[in-house]
Structure 1
Amino acid sequence: MSIELDETRPKWRQVADILRARIADGTYPPGARVPSVVAITEEFGIAIVTAQKALKALREEGSIRTEVGMGSYVTGRSPH
């Protein structure tokens, strides 16, 4: 079952906010792998491009780093 998202706000922003909150509360501690694009699409019921955009936002702010072929990991830096 997917998480209900607000239809009046961009879905990628909502997903990024949820992942950011999980990083902040320690659900995904520094060094931990964050869910894959496929896992995010399944959890939130969104398109692959939407999940990619959410992860890109977290990567650009420095909250996560991505290693090609390995996945994305929490950097340990505080989200903005």
Structure 2
Amino acid sequence: MIIFVHDVPRWIQVAEELRKRISDGTYAPGTRVPSVIQLGAEFGIAQATGQKVLRALRAEGLIYTIPGLGSFVSED
């Protein structure tokens, strides 16, 4: 669990945590990342915030989403 800094939006902090997990291999290429609901449970964020996190990581090319299956770490 991360401790949130009040002057930085939560979605940015959660996205950074997921980037670290991808970078250090916690989430290896091809593995599923937490869903919006799972992000909410782990980090105490709203579903809209979780969607923003996943949307940002998708825009960076770090993850891809398969409708109905979830989001996965992109291959290098």
Q: Output the TM-score relative to the length of structure 2.
A: 0.94
Q: Distance in 1 between matches of 2:50 and 2:4?
A: 13
Q: Does 1:33 align with 2:28?
A: no
Question: Which position in structure 2 is the counterpart of 1:12?
Answer: 11
Answer yes or no: is 1:55 the counterpart of 2:73: no
Query: By how many angstroms is 1:37 displaced?
Result: 0.5
CA distance in 2, matches of 1:5, 1:46: 11
Give 1:3 shift: 3.5
Q: Which runs of 4+ in 1 moved over 3 A?
A: none
1:74 is aligned to 73
RMSD, aligned CA: 1.0
Deviations 1:24-59 (A, max 9, x none): 000000000000100000100011100100110000
TM-score of the aligned structures, taking structure 1 as reference length: 0.90
Q: Distance in 2 between matches of 1:35 and 1:47?
A: 14
Q: Which runs of 5+ in 1 are unaligned?
A: none
* Identical positions, percent: 54
